[in-house]
Structures are given as C-alpha cells and as structure tokens.
Structure 1
Amino acid sequence: MNSIEIKATQHRIQQVFSDFAFTIPLYQRPYAWTTEQAGELLEDLITSLGDSKEPIDDVNPYFLGSIVLIKEKEDKPDAQVVDGQQRLTTLTILLAVMRTLLQPPHAYALTKLLEESDPFDDSVNRYRLILAKRDADFFKQYIQDENGISKLKDLSSAALSDSRKNIKENALLFLNKLCNLSNEERLRLAHFVIKRCFLVVVSTLDLDSAYQIFSVLNDRGLDLSLSDILKAEVIGKIADCEKEAYAKKWDDIQEDLGRERFQYLFTHIRMIYRKSKAKESILKEFRLYVQPTNNPKNFIDEILCPYANSYFDINKVNYRHHQCAEKINQLFGWLKQLDNSDWIPPAILYLSQQYNNPDELLRFFTALERLAAGIIIQRVNINERIERYGKLLLAIESEANLYAEDSPLQLTIEERRNIIKVLNDDLYLIQKIRLFVLLRLDAALSDGEATYEFTTISVEHVLPQNPASDSVWVSSFTDREREKYVHCLGNLVLLSRRKNSEAKNYDFQKKKEKYFTTKTGVSPFALTTQVLQQNEWTPAVIERRQQNLIDVLKEVWRL
C-alpha cells in the first residue's frame, strides 16, 4: 500500500487566490457565516492593520487559520475544499467588495485574484472559487462578476435561501463598513489582506486522508460540526450520479430546521439508537451505533428525512391532520415548556412511526407530557432521566404495551405520591417548575382555550413574602400561617407583566384593583380571576384553593 503524502504550507492570500482553483463539493454544508462572523473578521483585519503609516511589508502578519484540500494533481491548480469554504467564500466576498471601491489598476489586480483569464482567449474565464451547484450561479452573478455587488442592494431577501441571504448580507456589510474608510485606508487594507494575511493550506491526494484531517480538526474545536463531518462521510459513499440529489435532501433538511437544531437532530438520533447517555464523543457513538455509511441512501431516506420531519413538527408545533391535530400540537407546546430536551428522542421516534394515526398519537403524547412533567416536578437528575427515556425508546421499538402499569411511559404509584407532595409544598421556591405548573393549571381551568403570547409572565404572591410591620397582612396571618402558606400553590397567581416591588405592601383589595387586573379591569389568567372573585384572603381561603388546584392537577396528570 502506497503511503499518502500530506502537505501543509503557509500561503499569502495573494498566493491562495493565484495558485489554486477551488471547488466546493456537493456534500459540503451551504455557506453559513452570518454578519456576526463576517463582521468580526473585518474588524480583526482593520485592527491588526492599525493606523500607522509603516510600509505594508513591515506590518505584523495576520493568520487566518487553515484550509484542507484534496489536490489530486500537484501540477494543476484544481482543488476540492474539504474544510475552509466559509473563510474562502467570505474572503472572496471581501475581495469583490474592495474591487468595487478601488480604482484601476488596483481593481484590476483584485479581479485577477477572483478569476483566472486568458488575455488571448476571451472564452477562457474561470473563477478562483466555485461554490456548490445550489449557490454557484448566484455567487457568480452577484459577487464575482464585476458589476454584481451593485445589484445586491435591490435584491429582496424574502425569497433567498439562508446561504444566499448570508452572502448578500455579508457583502452589504463589507460595503457599508468600507465606504466609511477613506480611499487611502481602503487601498492600504487591500494591500494588507492580499500581502500580509496568511492561510495554512493542508493538501493531500487521497480522499480518505482529507476526511481524516477534517475529523481531527473538528475534534480540536475548529469551526466544523458533527453534521458537516457526517455529511462528508455519508454523501461521499453515494455514487457520483446520485450525490447531488442526496446532498440537496441533506441541505433542505438543514435549511428547514436551522443549523443549530440540525445539530441537535443528530444527538437525538444517536439517543434513539444508543438508548443511554453518551460515554464517548457523539460523533464516535453515532458512527458506531447508527452506522450511517453502511447504507448511506437508506440512512437519508429512511432515518434522517422522517426523523427530521417529526422533529420539525414538534419544534414548530405543526402536526397536521384532520383529526386531533390541535390537541396534539397543544401537547407539543407544553412539552417545549420543559427545562430539558431529553423527551425529544422518544417523541421523534413515535411520531415518525405513527404519523398517520392521530388517535394513537394523542394517547401517547398525553402520556408523554404527563411523564415528562412528573419527571421535572420531582427534579429527577439527568442520568435517571436519560435512563428512563432509554427504556421508553426500547419499549416503543419492541412494540410493548406502553399503557401497562409497569411501562416506562407510566408514572408509578410512588412517583405520583412524590409529585403531589412537591405540589403541596413551597412550590414558589422551585424556580424551574413553578411557572410551568401554574401555566398548565391555568390552561386546565380555561378548558384548554387559554393562549399565552405575553412577552413577560411572572408569578406573584397574594399574601406577600415580607409584608410591612404595619400591614393588614400581619394582623390577618400569624407568623406560622404566613410561613406555611406564603409560597404554596394556593397563594400564587400569574401576571402578564413584571413584578412591582411596591405592590407587596398593598392590602388585598388594593392589590386586586391596582395590581392583579389589567387596564380593562380584568385578568387574562383564570388563576388570577379566581382570586379577584374573593372578598377576603385568609388562611381558610388559601387552604380551600390549594386543595381545589391540586385536585385539578390530579385530574390533568392522572395522579
């Protein structure tokens, strides 16, 4: 077996865009840098250049990182970009913007870095960077062509994909910032970028070696992601004639979910297969247990696509069916209110299996919301949560009776008792669950018709935590009664605004009139309306209300 030579060489940007002709393979993710990353790059370049007048050759160099290439022929400029397309694309945008703001001959010099031409043959004209097919023509038309940047201002972003929107917004950001510089400053910056900014170019003739470098760089915390590596590995195993179609499927899923949630999807898929907490890196366990490259087309068609569709509907609360859809989406909404996402893998798995069976979905998600709520109310630790959901995944896969008493989907008698105990205790002091419980309760009191679209919802005490010594509250409650009732469920209400520290001294009637109601004189919350209907607030009233509210939650969660 012949050894594969790996070369790493430092190049000026002038050399990078003269000695290479870059192509972005189909399996690469779309251009993802936003104005945040692009803006940071430009600010770093301007800061590194500084405002001194020393010759450019004497300015400290600026290192832009490394790129990984597959270069099959050493004597040819052609190179596939395995890692570095974000930087190369952003640098191309920057060079194109600077070209529009500089006069000849400097503008012409930048054009030579953007495209390779033959002065004796007008038909030979090749751009230094060719994006993947989905964005290549757009990039040529609006960035690489000499008059392209001027067309971007009038281009509507509404119909653009995320990658094209990023290209447009980054170009306009550069244009706006560079227009604020003088002609001399722009020219000096251009000289600095092409002569004193460097990339380390890592190249190999071998595809597998390039992927290995790609993976190592990812593990070292650079800007690659789990999905990037998996995409390279999976799409790389598909026949050339089908690569483009499957790369598009992959990209469409990422665009629909958004880059961050797309990353989460792979951790959820790993959990569906592994059914336990990760003991090694997510990437390593994904390869080991999911084995996506064994049958790459099947992985995309039968696993990635249906699981992504289910995850999208759960996240967007967007299940569609002529039966039960509203109730199922309400349950998605409550599950999303929880302070963890450990319930998502069984939700994805079951929804993908039973998508066209809404009655079964309603039954399952009613039970899953009950289980997930019970778990957070008891403050079960992460290891126990993952173990429980792992058992539920196994039960779903094995087609066990999910509604039997001993099913991991069901709460045990002891768990139900623990939940009631927590609900009967000082609920207000458990910050991570109090708002969720009160909103869930309020929705039940409203027959599920309440909507919560307020920018702020706060939890407030009726009997205040620290009443003034001359307050009517002090004469109405003993110290022991205040300690017993102040933080309990029966003494809590919801407000659609931030708390008012001055309101703690209001007596009951004034609180009702000035604090618990809106400008229209009513409350948008059923819980708070209950309190407004009371003429007085005493230990006996709180006791009755506590029991009534507990009874409602017992019915909601079958406790």
Structure 2
Amino acid sequence: MYPTASLTISELFFGPYLLNIPLFQRPYSWGREQAEQLLDDLMEAAGVCSGGEADQTYFLGAVVLMDAPGAETSKLNPKMTPREFGVIDGQQRLVTLMTLLAVLRDLETDTRRPVGKRVHNMLIAQLGTRFFRTERFRMHLSTRERAVFEDHILLPGSSVQPTYLAAPSLPEATLLEVRDRFKAVLSEMTNTARRTLADFIADSCYIVVIVGNDIDRSHQMFVVLNERGKKLQRNDILKSDILARMSTSDAKWAVGMWDDMSLALGEGFEPFFGHLRTIYGHGRLQIVSGVRQVIRDSGGSEAFFKDVFLPLAKAYVLVRSNGEDVLPHSMQRTLIYLNRLPEADWAPAAIVALKDWKYDPHRAAFLLDEIERLAMLTRLLCAGSGKRVRRFAELIKVMRSGVPIDASHPVLQMSRDEVRGVAFHLKDFHKRNPKVCKLLLMRLGDELAGEMDVVDPDLYTIEHVLPQRPAASSPWRQKFASSEERAQLVESLGNLVLITQQENDRARNASWEDKKQIYAKASSRVPLLAITRDVLGETEWCKEQIEARELRLIELIDKLWRIDLLGQRPGVRPPPLKPVDVEEPTEPLRHLA
C-alpha cells in the first residue's frame, strides 16, 4: 500500500527522485539553532570534530513523498524512470541537508578531489539521453524563497558568496542565516575533514522513504506522523523496561514515585532522560539506548531506580523550579539566570551539582556559580551547542569523580584563544546573538544594582542610545560624522540599554535629552532597570561616554566571571579581582511583574 525503502542520502539525491514542495506546505522554518544542532550531530557521528571513530550509519528519520497521481509504484529502486515526487513530510530536513551539501561543495579548494562534482550531481539532476541532456535542480521549493534557494545556495559557487537582498522575507532570511552559519563552521575545517563529512552524509546517513500515490493518502500519512495519535514517548518505554524487572512490591512503590516525578517535572520529564544519559557519558547514544546502558551499569532496574533515577529526578525538579522555597537564595538566583538561557546544555551539570546539595551546600553553590559562568562565557564565545555540550561533559566527569574542585581547576579555565574570542565577539554581540545580549545586559544591571530584579526578560528590548539609522539631518549624524566610527560605536556594549518595546519605538531616533526623558518615565508594571538607569546621569552622549561605559561593563564581566577581557586591550588593565564568598541572603528575592 505504501512502498517504503531505506535509502542513503546519495541514493535519494542521486536517484530517480525529482523533489517538489507542494503549495500547501509551509515555508522553510528551521532556525539557526536547529540547523546547527543537525550539523553538530553529523560532525560528531562522522568523527570529524572529536577525532573519534565514525558511526557506521546515522538515521535521519522518515520522509513522506507523493508519487504522480495514479502511479502504481510497488517497489522503490534506483532504476525507476526519473519523475517528480511531492515532499509531504521532511521538507525542513531535506532543504537543510541540501544547503549543507552545497556549502561543502563550494568550499572545496582541491580540484583533484571529486567532492565538488559528486555533490553537484546530487543537487542538480541530469536528465535526458547522452545526446540530449538537460539539468534541473534536485528540489524545487514552492514559495518565494525558491529563487534564493536556487540562486544563492544550489547554484555552483553561490553558497559562499555574499548575498544582498533589499527586503528578504523571514523564510529567505532564515535560509541565508543557516547557509552562512554552515559556511562559518565548515570554513574552519580542513579540506580532509570536509571531504570526510561529505562522504559520511552521502554514504552513511539513511532516510526511510515512504511513498503514497495520491494526495489524500499522502496527506493522511503526514497527519498520522505529525498530529494524530499519542506517540509512545521515551519515558513510557523506559518505565516498562524498569518495572518489568522489579519485584511486585518494589514495582508498586516505583510506579507511585515515577508518577510523582512525572507530575513534578511536567513537560520536563521527557527531556530529563536525555540529561540523565548525558550525565553518565552516553550522550552519543539514542536516549533510550543510553538510559538502558546506565541501567546495566548501575546493576539493574532496582539499583538504577533508587540510586540514579530518583536522586537525579529530584535534583532536576530543583533546577526547573529555581529551587524556590528549598535552596538558599543565592542558589535560587543562579538558577533563575541559567533557566533564562536558550538551550539547556548546562542542565546535566546543574543536576549533578544539586544531587547531594544538602550534604555540602557550599560546594553545590560554588558549582552552580561555575556552571552559570561557563554557560555565559561559552555563549559570549558564540560556541555551537556541540562544543558547549562537550565542555559541560568534561566538567561533569570531574564533578562525579568527587575530587576537590576550586576556581583554579583546569576544567574551569578559559584558554587564551577563548578569551580573545569573547573579547572579539563582544564588540558587536547584539548582532551576533540578540537574545543572549539582552540577558547579559540584565545580568550586568543586577550587578550594578547589587540585587536581582526578578522580571520577565520578554518585557524588555535592546535600545541603541546612539541610533542605528539616524536621519541624514539628525544631530546624531553631525556629532558622529564618520560612518565607520558610528557603526562601531552603535554596536558597542556601552551604547546599549533595556527598555520596553513601546518606549523603544518612541526613543528610536530621538535626541539624547528626549531619550533620557523617555528612559526615566518607567511604569510600575515594567520598572526601570539599573542597566538603563546607569546612563541617566550623562549630560551628553558622545564617543567618550560610550567607550568609558563599555570599559566599565567589560570590567564588570571580568570580575563577575573571572576572565581578563580588559587585558586584551593594549594599555588597559583591570584592577586585581577580589575573591567572592558564597553568601546565603536572609531576604527573599524581589519579584516584579
């Protein structure tokens, strides 16, 4: 009824399959983080980033294709007559893979190697006979981004060239952002590593292809895979595994505890098992396989449940709840900062830090602070998720070993290159990562104020005091006549404050005096933050004020996270850092709307 085959990427992209995205499909919507995660996973599986042995195969999921109406395809094989198939499910993965392959093709500099030609034949189908040959792109998108996909990604040489579009749509901008991120990561690799990755994707990555031959049946398959029915979740599989091997009395008790943890963690229960697998060093295994290995290593289901599952699940409840009403206030504050961050690569380390916090609260507080430090610094470094996960995996090994650990331990150090990287990225960090830049400003504001305002980050937006695009007749243009200098100062950390979107709209290109009045009129519902209050005492806003404030904020980062960024600036040295004792405030955290 539904012809199915397991195909390598080269078989799918080199065979008789000419792929079209139907009109009813949504535009390309994978973001940079999803695409980067796919690249990290592929690099890890291919062994090109860790130096380890490559996986024999890598499964990329299933795609649903629609054959030509009325076609009676009973079996998929490479000798079928080339024809068009509609992509009903799997568009995002296929478009992302093609973008990745296009960048690998265009970065090839060794003309003696066949990588470029091989990938070219995967992305551009050869049709017709030997005497009358035509070409078409392997995939046709149906929406506005088709031209961008073909002209700036699939076309040979185009993916590594700068692209200037007057007013790109969100899908177009997303495609180009993913392409440029792939280019940035892959250009740092050697030709050999890129060839290894390209060959691994082509020959070792598999996709299950399911084909329907009419739109109704194909769409039904899409609905079943994506919407209808309750999928058997990982925790259901693991629960069955564990309870089946326990005695009746223990199983009854375990069911109650399992359900309690499921209720306490809510949506976090499913991700918890991924964190558990990572804690025990099985991050490369699929989650169920990884947890099963932990069960075996623990000595069986009963020991796993009592000694591993329960303590770690309870610790994760503390992590997700910010330790409210349980942990000392200093630790609650650190968890609030961590939980604001996009992606939870830090969570496994935090779980380990809190597992036995009652027995040594000072060690737990120190470890949480160091986890927050590494989480922020690796984001300021613009490290990908794979690098962050590996960094925390090293820390987890040390934490689980039980050896003494303090601020001088090698696992907590930033290399000189990493410090230089952070210093470089901070020059225009808002452009690189607006969300984390906002969280950085909030964090620095709390340090300026000496207390934490527990507010919703979504209430605030980043405002450039020196406007990004002042009018040609604006006094800002006269004060900052050099366009090059103005561009540099606009993105400076010293030029950024946090205000509401409504205030931002009013302040955008206003004069300095008008901006100050807008900033100062904060409402009781959305209070004025210290990072913005910091600029209100300035009588003017010139280059000197921006640079001086930038130095103050960078010095604050140096003291807060034990890094020497000012030392990267010729002739500028920070004062010596003083050790910070872990304190337990007696007053509760101040919550604001």
Change (3 A) 1:390 1:511: same
**Corresponding residue for 1:555?**
559
Would the aligned equivalents of 2:439 and 2:457 in 1 still touch at CA under 8 Å? no
User: What is the CA-CA distance between 1:429 and the residue it aligns to?
Assistant: 4.3
* 2:401 is equivalent to residue 398 of structure 1: yes
Alpha-carbon distance in 2 for matches of 1:267, 1:308: 12
**Corresponding residue for 1:333?**
336
User: What is the CA-CA distance between 1:493 and the residue it aligns to?
Assistant: 0.3
**Corresponding residue for 2:303?**
298
Question: Normalised by the size of structure 2, how large is the TM-score?
Answer: 0.53
* 2:291 is equivalent to residue 286 of structure 1: yes
Change (3 A) 1:391 1:428: same
Alpha-carbon distance in 1 for matches of 2:318, 2:398: 23
**Corresponding residue for 2:512?**
508
Alpha-carbon distance in 1 for matches of 2:295, 2:467: 54
- Match of 2:251, SS state, is helix
- Match of 2:463, SS state, is strand
Which of 244, 247, 268 does residue 275 from structure 2 map onto?
268
Would the aligned equivalents of 2:276 and 2:348 in 1 still touch at CA under 8 Å? yes
* 2:234 is equivalent to residue 233 of structure 1: no
* Aligned 1:288-367 pairs, distance under 5 A: 288-291=293-296, 294-318=299-323, 325-367=328-370
**Corresponding residue for 1:539?**
543
User: What is the CA-CA distance between 1:326 and the residue it aligns to?
Assistant: 0.5
**1:142-167 residue CA offsets vs partner (Å, 9 max, x unmatched):** xxxxxxxxxxxxxxxxxxxxxxxxxx
Alpha-carbon distance in 2 for matches of 1:288, 1:523: 50
Would the aligned equivalents of 1:490 and 1:549 in 2 still touch at CA under 8 Å? yes
- Match of 1:510, SS state, is helix
What's the C-alpha RMSD, in Å, of the aligned pairs?
A: 2.7
User: What is the CA-CA distance between 1:433 and the residue it aligns to?
Assistant: 2.0
* 2:535 is equivalent to residue 527 of structure 1: no
**1:90-138 residue CA offsets vs partner (Å, 9 max, x unmatched):** xxxxxxxxxxxxxxxxxxxxxxxxxxxxxxxxxxxxxxxxxxxxxxxxx
Would the aligned equivalents of 1:462 and 1:491 in 2 still touch at CA under 8 Å? yes
Change (3 A) 1:401 1:411: farther
Would the aligned equivalents of 1:427 and 1:487 in 2 still touch at CA under 8 Å? yes
Alpha-carbon distance in 1 for matches of 2:349, 2:235: 21
User: What is the CA-CA distance between 1:320 and the residue it aligns to?
Assistant: 5.3
Alpha-carbon distance in 1 for matches of 2:419, 2:404: 20
- Match of 1:390, SS state, is helix
**Corresponding residue for 1:249?**
257
Alpha-carbon distance in 2 for matches of 1:428, 1:448: 28
* 2:460 is equivalent to residue 457 of structure 1: yes
**Corresponding residue for 1:194?**
none
Opposite residue 264 of structure 1, the aligned amino acid is P
Would the aligned equivalents of 2:333 and 2:452 in 1 still touch at CA under 8 Å? no
Would the aligned equivalents of 1:463 and 1:491 in 2 still touch at CA under 8 Å? yes
Alpha-carbon distance in 2 for matches of 1:394, 1:289: 15
* Aligned 1:196-207 pairs, distance under 5 A: none
- Match of 1:460, SS state, is strand
Opposite residue 266 of structure 1, the aligned amino acid is F
Alpha-carbon distance in 2 for matches of 1:521, 1:249: 41
**Corresponding residue for 2:86?**
none
* Aligned 1:374-385 pairs, distance under 5 A: 374-385=377-388
Change (3 A) 1:544 1:410: same
Would the aligned equivalents of 1:459 and 1:493 in 2 still touch at CA under 8 Å? yes
Opposite residue 358 of structure 1, the aligned amino acid is P
* Aligned 1:92-103 pairs, distance under 5 A: none
Alpha-carbon distance in 2 for matches of 1:426, 1:474: 23
Change (3 A) 1:241 1:369: closer
Change (3 A) 1:433 1:520: closer
Would the aligned equivalents of 2:495 and 2:546 in 1 still touch at CA under 8 Å? yes
- Match of 1:408, SS state, is helix
Which of 495, 502, 516 does residue 499 from structure 2 map onto?
495
- Match of 2:497, SS state, is strand
**Corresponding residue for 1:421?**
424
Change (3 A) 1:454 1:386: closer
**Corresponding residue for 1:98?**
none
User: What is the CA-CA distance between 1:394 and the residue it aligns to?
Assistant: 1.2
Alpha-carbon distance in 1 for matches of 2:523, 2:378: 38
User: What is the CA-CA distance between 1:502 and the residue it aligns to?
Assistant: 4.9
Opposite residue 304 of structure 2, the aligned amino acid is F
**Corresponding residue for 1:481?**
485
Greater Cα radius of gyration, structure 1 or 2: 1
User: What is the CA-CA distance between 1:385 and the residue it aligns to?
Assistant: 1.7
User: What is the CA-CA distance between 1:294 and the residue it aligns to?
Assistant: 4.8
Alpha-carbon distance in 1 for matches of 2:363, 2:451: 20
Percentage of identical aligned residues:
28
User: What is the CA-CA distance between 1:274 and the residue it aligns to?
Assistant: 2.0
**1:285-336 residue CA offsets vs partner (Å, 9 max, x unmatched):** 2212333895322222211111111101111011656xx7111111111111
User: What is the CA-CA distance between 1:282 and the residue it aligns to?
Assistant: 1.3
User: What is the CA-CA distance between 1:508 and the residue it aligns to?
Assistant: 0.8
Opposite residue 239 of structure 1, the aligned amino acid is S
- Match of 2:306, SS state, is helix
Unaligned runs of 5+ in 1: 1-216
Would the aligned equivalents of 1:460 and 1:499 in 2 still touch at CA under 8 Å? no
Opposite residue 527 of structure 1, the aligned amino acid is I
Would the aligned equivalents of 1:350 and 1:396 in 2 still touch at CA under 8 Å? yes
Alpha-carbon distance in 2 for matches of 1:339, 1:453: 14
Would the aligned equivalents of 2:459 and 2:500 in 1 still touch at CA under 8 Å? yes
- Match of 2:410, SS state, is coil
Alpha-carbon distance in 1 for matches of 2:396, 2:231: 32
Would the aligned equivalents of 1:454 and 1:496 in 2 still touch at CA under 8 Å? no
User: What is the CA-CA distance between 1:353 and the residue it aligns to?
Assistant: 2.9
**Corresponding residue for 1:223?**
231
Alpha-carbon distance in 1 for matches of 2:382, 2:292: 32
- Match of 1:459, SS state, is strand
Opposite residue 261 of structure 2, the aligned amino acid is I
Would the aligned equivalents of 2:331 and 2:368 in 1 still touch at CA under 8 Å? yes
Alpha-carbon distance in 2 for matches of 1:339, 1:252: 27
Alpha-carbon distance in 2 for matches of 1:221, 1:536: 62
* 2:433 is equivalent to residue 433 of structure 1: no
Opposite residue 360 of structure 1, the aligned amino acid is R
| 513-522 vs 373-382, greater mean Cα deviation | 513-522
Which of 467, 471, 480 does residue 474 from structure 2 map onto?
471
Change (3 A) 1:421 1:441: same
- Match of 2:469, SS state, is coil
